[in-house]
Amino acid sequence: LHPDLRERCARSVSSLDVAVCAIGGVVPLLETYRFRDLVRVIIASKKGLDPSKPVHLFGAGHPLVFPLATLLGCDLFDSASYAKYARDGRMLFADGTRRAADVRESSCLCPVCTAHPMEKIAAEETLLAEHNLHACFGAIREVRQAIAEGDLWGLAERRARAHPALLDAVRELRRHNEFLEEFEPVSRPGALTYVGAETAHRPILHRFRRRLRERYSAPPAKGLLVFPEGGRPFGERLAAVVDQVARVADVHFAVKSVWGPVPLELDQVWPMCQTIVPEATDLEALEAAEVFFRDWAAGAGFPFGILWEGEATLDDLRARAPGGRAIDWNALRIRATADFQFGRGAADALFAGAISYVISKNTGKVRNVLADGEHVVSLRAADGLFSLKAAGARRLAKAFPPPRLRIVVEEDTVPFHREGKNVFAKFVREADPDIRPGDEALVVSPEDELCAVARATMNGREMLAFKRGVAAHVREGVPHGPTAPRR
């Protein structure tokens, strides 16, 4: 497959003055259902391609592959498949191909299938071709709807049930998570719904586990008490047990969820709270959860870990981690969230000084966090992450050297951002390669003066590649002048 050559070639193509880049030579893969190789080919090409240019996939004309190919970043398809299949007496459906002669009833509601009896359709190549085209268009509409709902991963995983070769392809995706994760938004509206054992390997969950290992620091405790997967939010479900344990034992708390370990203070971070999983989990998912948990627990620094098995565990805990623990859950939550979202050290920077909260009257949860009277961040109910305020941005800018968290804009546009105008990709000079769609970012001048706080709409690499479109929505402009807090 020569992924290295494909990537190199894609780089050269991207440097040409072309509007659309195309990936070809995949028809033999499609015809022999080598979808896993198709994944490797597309990803290798995408790695080298300019992310601002639409990608055309030659020869992909079966509804089966549209969700997967779109997920990997293909935008346009063309193919004579609909006609070739018709000539061969075969009908395309979203879940596969059938010989027209074997179809007793078509489940399709296209004009052909609703107006003619199956015998007639099977006998006429034109009708078959017409149906096949409708099937393709329907599949494309389904893909677009899934994108609008933020559920393209779900569609690709569900469609993979239609053919084992497609399932192989979806299972291949986890091996490319480092690349796929770059394009994954920090959160999506609604819940993340379990489709199969593959779901736990989606980039969003890969990122959660990686950030936990790299950014999260557990509070000091003599041990870790581990709860099994169950009702969410975990903190609310387990509140009574946690209170009981904290009175007699000095341990911290985490849940061994199907998505991986979740320290209790991060249970509101998307998608850990907004998740729908089956009550009975399959063995593959359980084994994966076990591996995810061990990967984290080994480096988390707890002298021991113990699984909660009811009241009997209390005696164990008294013996192994004697002494109670007074826990300030609000403080734990905001500190863990800050490091998780912005990087290790962010909590120290954001929350230096006397901390106070604005608590939501509706939910009783922290809404705003103030440090020494300055409003530094707001906690979003929708995804459990922070919206950054100007005062918080100043603190992060001091704590993290460039290019961390930054979007560097052209000098000329600085005054506009100070007034709250959005950042256009065209005027982005540099950007932190670690910025992801939906991330909070610091908009700075070429001299690294903070001029706005913004929410990224694309990743750092895309900001540099795109010549048009909004790179980040400015939340708050930062006027010129004294950096001392105004009260």
Interacting residue ranges for Zn ion, rule: CB under 5 A: 108, 110, 112-113, 131
CB 440 within 8 A of CB 395: no
For Zn ion, the closer of residues 121 and 245 by Cβ is 121
Buried b (16+ CB within 10 A) or exposed e, 346-355: bbebbbeeeb
Nearer residue to Zn ion within complex by CB, 122 or 472: 122
Considering the complex, state which of residue 110 and residue 147 has its C-beta at the smaller distance from Zn ion.
110
Q: What is the pairing mode between strands 406-409 and 423-424?
A: unpaired
349 in Cβ contact with 395 (< 8 Å): yes
State the minimum distance, in angstroms, from the CB of residue 475 to Zn ion: 48
Min dist. Cβ of residue 57 to Zn ion (A): 24
Q: How far is the CB of 92 from Zn ion (least distance, A)?
A: 9
Cβ nearer to Zn ion, comparing 49 with 112: 112
Residues in the chain: 487
Contacts (Cβ under 8 Å, ≥6 apart) of 39: 68, 72, 169, 172, 173, 176
Q: Using CB atoms within 10 A of its CB, is residue 443 exposed (0-12), middle (13-18) or buried (19+)?
A: buried
Helix (H, G, I), strand (E, B) or coil at 157: helix
CA distances from 232 to 73, 177, 213, 272, 436 (A): 33, 26, 22, 8, 26
In whole angstroms, the minimum distance from the beta carbon of 108 to Zn ion comes to 3
- Which residue, 104 or 468, is less far from Zn ion as judged by CB? 104
Distance CA 29, CA 20 (A): 22
Q: How far is the CB of 121 from Zn ion (least distance, A)?
A: 8
In terms of phi and psi (left: phi > 0; alpha: psi -120 to 50; beta: otherwise), the region of 323 is left
Nearest CA among 139, 111, 108 for reference residue 126: 111
Q: Contact, 152 vs 143, CB < 8 A?
A: yes
Q: Distance (Å, rounded) from C-alpha 295 to C-alpha 447? A: 41
State in angstroms the smallest separation of the CB of 119 from Zn ion: 15
In which element (H, E) is residue 262 found?
strand 260-263
When the beta carbons of 123 and 286 are compared against Zn ion, the nearer one is 123
* DSSP character string of 88-101: TTEEEETTEEEEGG
Least distance between Zn ion and beta carbon 113 (Å):
3
Q: How far is the CB of 132 from Zn ion (least distance, A)?
A: 8
Hey, what's the torsion of the CAs at 476, 464, 153, 72, to 10 degrees?
Answer: 170
Measured from the CB atom, the residue of 122 and 409 that comes closer to Zn ion is 122
Comparing CB distances to Zn ion, the nearer of 113 and 443 is 113
Q: Which is nearer to Zn ion, 110 or 352 (CB)?
A: 110
